[in-house]
Each structure stands twice: as structure tokens, then as C-alpha cells.
Amino acid sequence: MGADSGPGAPPAVLWRKVLYERQSYPDNYVDPRFLEDLRRNVGVRQYRYWNVVREAGLVSQQVSCVSLFVTLWSYMEQGHLSPSTLLSAGLLSSLVGYGLYKVLGGSRSDDRTSWADLQSAAIFLAFTFGFSPVLKTLTESVSTDTVYAMSAMMLLAHLVSFPYAQPSPPGSLSLNAALFASVCLASRLPGALHTFAMLTCALLVFALWPCLLHRLTEHAPWSFPWIASLVSFGGVMGLGSLWPTGALLFAFALLTLTLICPLLLVRLQRHKDNIHGPWDEAEIREDLSHFLN
């Protein structure tokens, strides 16, 4: 650190923070006013606990959706759930959800017409039903352990890449990963109709449900905590019917993710200490568009 007086002190000419002129100060000279521009925690967001819990609820309910999907697949593999029952439940839930989606959307001009939605659904169902025998035999040459491992990795990729801030429409990476896992799991079911029912369920859970949830969050924000709690409860109970110990671990993981992790974030926020000052990188704030043109 330099000094302004004493033996070997620089000349009386004041130091200036410029590069275009030679000054009688050494290159490593630091002016005493250097730290006057020090600023701490500029632009730091102050989080509130219940707001963070609400955002964490998006993650918890999506994890629970994956748990519900795996539970339905396990029931179909064991023969406890018939394809017709799953298709009937899926049809009923899709009609109710589509009605809610349209009612909450109102008369927005950017929405597709009901006829266009019906055409898209018919095309998807027709292609899925037609290719179900092919998808059923798609992984015959692959071992079951490899199929399960690929499915687990793809479902994990779905959860990691899911756009929680803007879930409607779902991100292409997360949706493709979930559908790939669904195809792998559906190929291990007894028949082609089982495969068709499982892929239809995957479309409802991973593609259409996030869109409905996003619209419910926008137009009826009071309903989100109840919906997230109901989905999480369903995921725990579904897993509990297959593996009680795993359901307890899953419930503990959801509580940790929803309540404890936000608490740690809020508590640790007080220890945040970002410093800003004249040593930061220079920012060009001029409008340089005329040079680019």
C-alpha cells in the first residue's frame, strides 16, 4: 500500500485513476480513497420463507408425479390394473382438466380452438395405438436391468431439466426424457394395449398436467398449496401400497425438500457477503447499435 507522506512518498500531485497519461506514481500505488467506493451485497434478493416453500412445492409435486406414474406402471405390470380402467380414468381426468383449462383461460385470442385440440388428440391417440405393437417389442433385445436403469436415468433427467419457473409448455428436453422412460417401461408390460394405456398416461402426467397446473397457479394461486399437497400425498400413498419403507423415506425427502431446504436458504442468506468496487470489470453502457449497423 502506498502512502501520501513520509520518506519516499510520491510527489504532491494528486493521483488520478486514468490510463492515458503518465504519472509520477509507481504502478502498484493504491490511493487511500480506493475503498471509498466499496459496496456490499448490491442487488441481493431478500427471500421470504413461505415464498420459497411455495416455489419448492413445484419441485415436490413434480417428483410426486413421477412417483405416481411409476406406481401405475407397477400395478399394470403386476396385473392389478387393467388397461381399460387406466384409459377410462385418463379420459375422465383429461375431460375435467381440459374444461378447467378452458374456463380459466377465458377468451384469450392466443389459445387454440377446441376443434384443433381435438384433432391433435385424435392424431396422437391414433399413431400411439397403431405403433403400440412396435413399441411393445422395441426393447426385446435389451435386458430388463438395462431398461430399468435407462428409465431411472431418464426420469432423473426429466426432473433436473424441468422448467419449474415456466412449466407451460414443458421443456423439450424434460418432456422427451420422460417419454423415453415411458416407452422403456411400457415395453415391459404384458400386451400392446397396456403399452398404449401407459403412453397415454405419460402424456397426461408429463405434458398436459404441467400446463393445467401453470394456468391454475396464474388464475387461482390460492389453489396451488392444496393441489401440491394432494399430489404429494398421492405419490406417498401410491408408493406406500408397494413399498411402505420406501414411502416413509419418500415422505421424509419431500418434507426436507419443501420445508427444510427453504429454511436453510433463508438462514444462510444472512451470511451472504458480495463486495463491489472500482476493481470490478468495466461495463460499457453506451448504445453501440449504430456501430453494429
Per-residue model confidence as pLDDT tens digits over 233-245:
999 999 999 999 9
DSSP 123-168: HHHHHHHHHHHHHHTTTTTS-HHHHHHHHHHHHHHHHHH--SSS-S
Distance (Å, rounded) from C-alpha 191 to C-alpha 207?
A: 24
pLDDT of residue 3 exceeding 50: no
Can you state the angle between helices 114-136 and 192-203, rounded to 10 degrees? 140
CA angle 272, 39, 55 (to 5 degrees): 35
What band does 262 get if pLDDT is binned at 50, 70 and 90? very high
| Exposed / middle / buried, residue 153 (Cβ in 10 Å: 0-12, 13-18, 19+) | middle
DSSP class of residue 286 equals: S
Q: 65 near 205, Cβ under 8 Å?
A: yes
| Domain residue ranges of the chain, discontinuous segments joined by + | 55-105+112-263
Q: What is the Rg, in whole angstroms, of the alpha carbon atoms belonging to the chain? A: 29
Q: CA nearest 178: which of 198, 158, 164?
A: 158
| Exposed / middle / buried, residue 222 (Cβ in 10 Å: 0-12, 13-18, 19+) | exposed
Q: What is the pLDDT of residue 285?
A: 67
What band does 106 get if pLDDT is binned at 50, 70 and 90? low
Neighbours of 216 (CB within 10 A): 18
Q: Is the peptide bond before 133 cis (omega within 30 degrees of 0)?
A: no
Beta partners for residue 39, in sequence order: 276
Q: What is the pTM for the complete model shown? A: 0.78
Type and span of the H or E element at 40: strand 39-40
pLDDT by residue (tens digit) across 205-215?
999 999 899 88
What band does 193 get if pLDDT is binned at 50, 70 and 90? very high
84-121: b (≥16 Cβ within 10 Å) or e: eebbeebeeebeebbeebeeeeeeeeeeeeeeeeeeee
